[in-house]
Amino acid sequence: MGLMSFLRNRAGLVIFVIGLAIIAFLLGDIINMGTPFWRENQNQVGSVNGEGLDYQLFNSQVDQTTAMYQQQMGGTNSPQMKSYAIQQVWNQFISQNLLKSEIENIGLEVGKEELNSLIFGNNPSTQIIQAFANPQTGQIDKNYIASVVEQAKTNPEIKAQWESLLANVKNERLQAKFNNLLNNSVYTTALEAEYDYNSRNKLANFKYVLLDYASISDDQVKLSDADYKEYYDKNKNAFKNTEESRNIEYVSFDANPNAADTALALGAIQKLKTDLQVSTNDSSFVSINSENKYPVRYYGKNQVSQALDSAVFNAAPNTVVGPFLSQNVYEIAKVIAIKNSPDSVNASHIVINPAIEGGIDKATAKADSIKNLITSGANFAALAIEFSADPNSKTNAGEIGTLTRGMAPELDDVLFDSKTGDVKVVSTSMGVHIIKINKQVGNSKIVKLAIVDKAIEASKETTEAAFAQANKFFSAATKDNFDNIAKQQNLTIQKNERTVPMDNVFGMVEVPRELVRWAFEAKAGDITDKVYETPNNFFVARVVNIQAKGIQPLEAVKPIIEPAVKRLVKARMLKEKLNNALNGANSIDQVAQKLEKNAQTVENVVLANPVIPGIAEEHAVIGTVFGIQPNKPSKAIEGKQGVYAVQVVGFVNPKALAGEELNTQQKQITASKTQRSSNYIFKALQDNAKIVDNRIKFY
């Protein structure tokens, strides 16, 4: 599955997690008031209505978001993933900033008594529930909250965390108030409900005559400047650029591995397979010979590539399987051991930082002391909030949720080889952990693997040959002879229209960000100042033209709208022909006879689904059907497929809505409107905001 498809499929979960992680950042103080104005602007990624976003703060959120995506994708990383993270954080910054401004303009506030109720009341904020609820019982210890408030008076670290939590509680409440205002402003009249009901249930039977646009060949159509202007004036809003863009032509030179490179990689991995079979130190062998250096550990089903997964669970211990080709990488794996293990573990932890404690020995000693307190009956959640160096652990009272295999090997061993209720101390590169096993679920086969991989890489000869071809074209091409030189060298010129500043692909091909940055500094007609490269391609490009932000002028869109303008002229010609046939006709059959056609019959069409069976979706045509009286031919109608005339045979009306049915219909429509209202509000705010996007300077 591709990255973008994966992220779209997981969008609900991912956006929810990211939203929780960055809400304080986005709704908090994002401007350093002590920074000189010139430096502030210089380091701003962008601004919304003058409210700027500092690069360092923005980039820290991009890194966090990228890390979340990496976890979702099983540890993989790519330029597309970072690009998606940059866009996600940027969208969140814009939306939260716009909503924050609206909340302030409206004058929404959270009073002292209201805030206290959200912390100590019977319906506490979800932020308080997350921070203080007992994972087992779901109950909140209000006395414990009070003790944290007391500690915050004397402990600066706890004070900062408490104030941050309060800010999140207030922001959550303000957002809820704003949403309630929006939702309460949405309503549906009885007339609207009846119209919607009829549009879905009233049936129309009609006849039509169609003069298809395809009946006039393109060479019969002569376009004038007036034709272009007529179409342009009718559709100006369709040519509005929300941000500045470029039309770019480019030639790419393939530097991907060839057949010889593939054979070389296969030979190398086959030799490694022989050596791995007799290896006596598998961890060292993997560290020296594997490119991805997967840890030698136990793996469950679906935790390795599909090809390996299908082989290792059916192999005997001390067997080396493969090589298998997976995404341009050859893989082999030695099956070291096989056993059964829990599928998942729910756990809590406290992390002690050796750097703060004065070394690993002191950190371990402190961890052992905390463990003894826990096994003697002390409250794990309270100790996590007091001692854990992991911010998430503090916020969630030590709770780290349900985990599957794939953590650090030391953690996997403790989590999956212990018993429910055990409390263990283990050291990793992240610190010393006190782990409590809350619950273990399932029991499945796992295999201990030593995985070695070898990527198929382009050889020096392959890369140099591709660069030589690119450099030959670059050396000969200018902005004036770009096309001719490409033809002379049998090269294909590709186009990427409406390139925007944060693009990192042309079509389906990854391009260097430096190339896009160059394009937005270049003038129309300029050719690249050098050969740009990615690991798999070299590029030489030319900026064809520049589209400014806003509605594009007619000359800029002429080549794009030419097919539509031809259709407009064809429609004019066909309407004249159809109107001549309509003149003096009393029925659609008479019109059809004049045109030497047969009138077609359509039955049981509803306004909400404006499709003419076997033809196309025709809004204008079906709309006309429901707006005219039966038994009279309509005027000529310009549709998507051609020009039509229609005549209604009759309508079948549904039973009238009344009483509870009408109320139910109103509620359903209102619910649908409410779901869409926030998007409409945000779009309106965005259209009227002054948004400055400087991301291209930094990414």
Residues 492 and 416 in one domain: no
For the record, the structure tokens of 310 come out as: 């299908």
> For residue 675, what pLDDT band results from cuts at 50, 70 and 90?
confident
CA atoms within 13 A on the CB side of 402: 7
How many angstroms separate the CA atoms of 494 and 486, rounded? 11
The alpha carbon of residue 377 and the mean position of all alpha carbons in its chain are separated, in whole angstroms, by 45
How many angstroms separate the CA atoms of 611 and 540, rounded? 46
pLDDT, residue 29, reads: 40
Domain for residue 670, yes or no? Answer: no
Residues 252 and 287 in one domain: no
pLDDT, residue 75, reads: 59
- 293 contacts: CB under 8 Å, gap ≥ 6: 286, 287
Domain for residue 49, yes or no? Answer: no
Residue 607 has pLDDT above 60, yes or no: yes
Q: In what order do the strands lie in the sheet with 494-499?
A: 494-499, 245-254, 537-547, 532-533
**Domain of residue 367, CATH code:** 3.10.50.40
Closest by alpha carbon to 115, among 154, 48, 147, 163? 163
Residue matched to tokens 């050859």: 330
Domain for residue 449, yes or no? Answer: no
Residues 362 and 282 in one domain: no
Residues 328 and 352 in one domain: no
How many angstroms separate the CA atoms of 349 and 120, rounded? 26
How many angstroms separate the CA atoms of 402 and 439, rounded? 9
Neighbours of 365 (CB within 10 A): 15
pLDDT, residue 76, reads: 63
pLDDT, residue 3, reads: 39
pLDDT, residue 134, reads: 67
For the record, the structure tokens of 298 come out as: 């136990």
Chosen domain end from 496, 515, 543: 543
Exposed / middle / buried, residue 527 (Cβ in 10 Å: 0-12, 13-18, 19+): middle
pLDDT, residue 267, reads: 95
Mean pLDDT value of segment 229-256? 93
Residue matched to tokens 């997981």: 10
Residue 138 has pLDDT above 80, yes or no: no
Mind listing the pLDDT tens digit for each residue in 658-668?
Answer: 889 999 999 99
Mean pLDDT value of segment 421-432? 88
Domain for residue 452, yes or no? Answer: no
What is the tally of structural domains in the chain?
5
Residues 277 and 221 in one domain: no
Contact, 439 vs 342, CB < 8 A? Answer: no
Residue 110 sits at φ, ψ, to 5 deg, of -120, 115
Mean pLDDT value of segment 232-247? 91
How many angstroms separate the CA atoms of 351 and 374, rounded? 14
Helix (H), strand (E) at residue 209: strand 203-212
Left, alpha or beta for 423 (phi > 0: left; psi -120 to 50: alpha)? beta
**Coil, strand or helix: which one is 280?**
coil
Query: What single DSSP character describes residue 183?
Result: H
What is the Rg, in whole angstroms, of the alpha carbon atoms belonging to the chain? 33
Residue 359 has pLDDT above 90, yes or no: no
Helices (H) and strands (E) in the chain, counts: 26, 25
Contact, 365 vs 379, CB < 8 A? Answer: no
Percent of the chain with pLDDT over 90: 51
Chosen domain end from 407, 441, 475: 441
Residues 409 and 328 in one domain: no
For the record, the structure tokens of 243 come out as: 């941000």
> For residue 66, what pLDDT band results from cuts at 50, 70 and 90?
confident
Domain for residue 467, yes or no? Answer: yes
Domain for residue 175, yes or no? Answer: yes
How many angstroms separate the CA atoms of 193 and 183, rounded? 18
Residue 536 has pLDDT above 60, yes or no: yes
Residues 267 and 327 in one domain: yes
Contact, 614 vs 556, CB < 8 A? Answer: no
Mind listing the pLDDT tens digit for each residue in 106-117?
Answer: 899 999 999 999
Residues 272 and 248 in one domain: no
**Domain of residue 235, CATH code:** 3.10.50
pLDDT, residue 2, reads: 41
Residues 610 and 521 in one domain: no
Mean pLDDT value of segment 359-383? 89
Whole-number mean pLDDT of the chain? Answer: 87
Mean pLDDT value of segment 490-494? 96
Residues 337 and 303 in one domain: yes
Residue 65 sits at φ, ψ, to 5 deg, of -65, -40
* First and final C-alpha spacing in the chain: 26
Residue 185 CA: distances (Å) to CA of 191, 192, 212, 547, 682: 18, 16, 46, 39, 15
Left, alpha or beta for 421 (phi > 0: left; psi -120 to 50: alpha)? left
Mind listing the pLDDT tens digit for each residue in 217-226?
Answer: 999 999 999 9
Residues 249 and 269 in one domain: no
Helix axes 112-120, 156-184, angle to 10 degrees: 100
Please give the model's pTM, rounded to 2 decimal places: 0.62
The parent domain of residue 139 ranges over 112-184
Residue 431 has pLDDT above 70, yes or no: yes
Strands (E), 430-501: 431-441, 444-455, 494-499
Which one is predicted more confidently, 577 or 27?
A: 577
Closest by alpha carbon to 248, among 32, 477, 596, 516? 516
Mind listing the pLDDT tens digit for each residue in 632-658?
Answer: 999 999 999 999 999 999 999 999 988
> For residue 5, what pLDDT band results from cuts at 50, 70 and 90?
very low
Helix (H), strand (E) at residue 428: strand 423-428
Domain for residue 35, yes or no? Answer: no
pLDDT, residue 77, reads: 67
Domain for residue 31, yes or no? Answer: no
Residues 251 and 286 in one domain: no
Contact, 115 vs 156, CB < 8 A? Answer: no
Chosen domain end from 543, 575, 607: 543
Mind listing the pLDDT tens digit for each residue in 294-322?
Answer: 889 889 888 889 889 989 998 999 999 99
Residue 635 sits at φ, ψ, to 5 deg, of -75, 175
> For residue 400, what pLDDT band results from cuts at 50, 70 and 90?
confident
Percent of the chain with pLDDT over 70: 92
Contact, 286 vs 482, CB < 8 A? Answer: no
